[in-house]
A and B are shown apart, each in its own frame.
Chain A
Amino acid sequence: MVLVLCFGLNISLGSVSIPFSDTWNSILGGNIEKESWHYIIWDYRIPKAFTAILVGSGLALSGLLMQTLFRNPLAGPFVLGISSGASLGAALIIMGSSLFSGVLAFGFANDVVLAIAASFGSFLVLLVVMVVASKVKDTMALLIIGLMFGSITAAIVSVLSYFTNAEKLQQYVYWSFGSVGNLSWPQLALLTSIILIGIVLSVLSIKSLNALLLGENYARSLGVDMKKSRYLIIIATGILAGGITAFAGPIAFVGLAVPHLTRQIFKTTDHTILVPAVLMYGAVLMLLCDTIAQLPTSANVLPINAITSIVGAPIVIWLLVRKRKMIF
């Protein structure tokens, strides 16, 4: 219900002000005043709203998976360097293609390749984090390692940008601002299937996620095949975070904040409830952030990444202050 409301609000507001009645008429196939409005709504705002829903729910879900897998309340695609990994993959494709011109540049800069590269980058970081996590039991150390990965990828990206041309650099910088607005319907279909795969894998992991709340040894004693379920969860996280980062750029805090918010609201740790709830709240939060980013009635659009940080960071701080400690 809230989701539908936010969806309506999101497509009603934008740089060009279109009356509510006309928005609804356009969706429902009725008559509207201007033909261009119909075009704006169908080819720009609705895909954008769908993208926001997919991005928000996907990121929130990957955050939930990681928090449970690492048994760490601070885990999230952004904090553990997963998004940095995806950024590195994207940077290599966008900017690297001009460096290693010839073989690589040929037909490489399309979206599918970008998505694969970003997913691959995030997988790589996730796997390294997993290996480190099995050796280092200290969660604090793990987070610092995640930050270090962020630094390393940032360093590689700056080396790349030093050598690349201005046009490619600008393309990358825009990508790193994050945006849910640039997707065409076919791209949207691709993103949808990526997210759906991620959701299916997560739903299959619900039981082992619940068992993991006890700890790994207990989970094993409950008959959970740890190796298999760990890989399932990692693949789901990698696909979700990587795919989304490829299409919408690195978007901060949704993955971290939404699972905490959802646990507070539903007062449960049961993943049969948390998984769908997190998907919904992620979508709602993302739609709201995007609506704010559009700065309704003005011609400017703010980078969505900035808005999610401005909204997400205070939520995390508020949760910490209210509860005094982060319980997950």
Chain B
Amino acid sequence: MTEIKKKNIALQTKNLSIGYQTKKEVTTVAKEINLELHSGILTAIVGVNGIGKSTLLRTLGKVQPQLEGEIEINGKRLQDYNSLELASVVSLVLTEPLASKNMTVLELVTLGRQPYTNWIGALSENDKTKIREALERLELKPLRHKKCYELSDGQLQRVMIARALAQDTAIILLDEPTTHLDLYHKVRILKLLKSIAHETNKTIVFTTHEIEMAIQLCDTMLLLDGKTNPFGQPCELIERKAFENLFPANAVSFDSQTGSFRIEK
């Protein structure tokens, strides 16, 4: 705990409200979100469907505007970043499908270097090294000349993570990276994320429905429950009985001994 505290704060939110803004009305999805993320840690955002996990992630990545409160990245307010500056600090892995699945794995990962290349996109030696490293870390070397439509869901997810890694940003945000994957691939992706966070000192935030896995693997967690939105280390959250309020009562209950959910009979 003390060791984590010493490190720099990479991403911080203060009383953040998120939601959707149209000309007529403002729909607040979640409010009072307070986060403090240090570099080199893996963080999960969990909560029931529709509570605003993806909205929060997209707001942090400036895909959609924040409603109220502050988001600070490396001590600078998010709205003060221009898109190119932000591209060298935050990379995204979203749930939306790729526009073109005709790209090869290599071409897709290469796109991650765009913020650093010149006007025509020529790759320097450094760019090539970063691409190679990203491919190696995600074990994609043998697949690099495959087209994206030939890949399985798990492989494609690894490719998208490799692209974000090639972008070489301090923060990586992933929206439900484990959806549509089987148990083995879920564990594999999450373990990869953890090793990336710890070994490359990046701040990795992802949304997930795999609460039990997140409890075992993540350094910190944010529980969106629509009220207090507790944030902290998993064991600490268990002690605070934060998981008990995550789902409506009578459906599932949380067993703090094993860190797992039980179906109420």
Contact = CB atoms under 8 A, between A and B. Distances in A.
B98 A214 contact: yes
A1 B113 CA distance: 34
Interface in B72-108: 83-88, 90-92, 94, 96-104, 107-108
A282 B121 CA distance: 24
B98 to A, nearest CB: 6
Most buried by B among A218, A268, A269: A218
A187 interface: no
Given A210-B114, A220-B83, A272 B99 contact: no
A207 interface: yes
A204 B119 CA distance: 7
A97 to B, nearest CB: 42
Interface string A259-287: 00001000011101000000000000000
Given A206-B121, A224-B83, A71 B111 contact: no
Given A214-B98, A214-B111, A327-B102, A222 B121 contact: no
A213 B99 contact: yes
B92 A206 contact: no
Contacts of A207: 114, 117, 119-121
Interface footprint category on A: 20 to 34
Nearest to A269: B103
Contacts of B96: 215, 217
26 contacts: A71-B100, A204-B119, A206-B121, A207-B119, A212-B99, A213-B99, A214-B99, A214-B100, A214-B108, A214-B111, A215-B94, A215-B96, A217-B92, A218-B92, A221-B63, A221-B86, A221-B91, A222-B112, A222-B114, A225-B83, A225-B84, A268-B107, A269-B103, A270-B107, A272-B121, A328-B102
Most buried by A among B83, B100, B107, B167: B100
A218 B163 CA distance: 11
B87 A213 contact: no
Given A213-B111, A214-B98, A215-B94, 9 more contacts: A210-B111, A213-B100, A217-B63, A220-B83, A221-B62, A222-B115, A224-B83, A268-B104, A328-B100
A263 B115 CA distance: 25
B149 interface: yes
B61 interface: yes
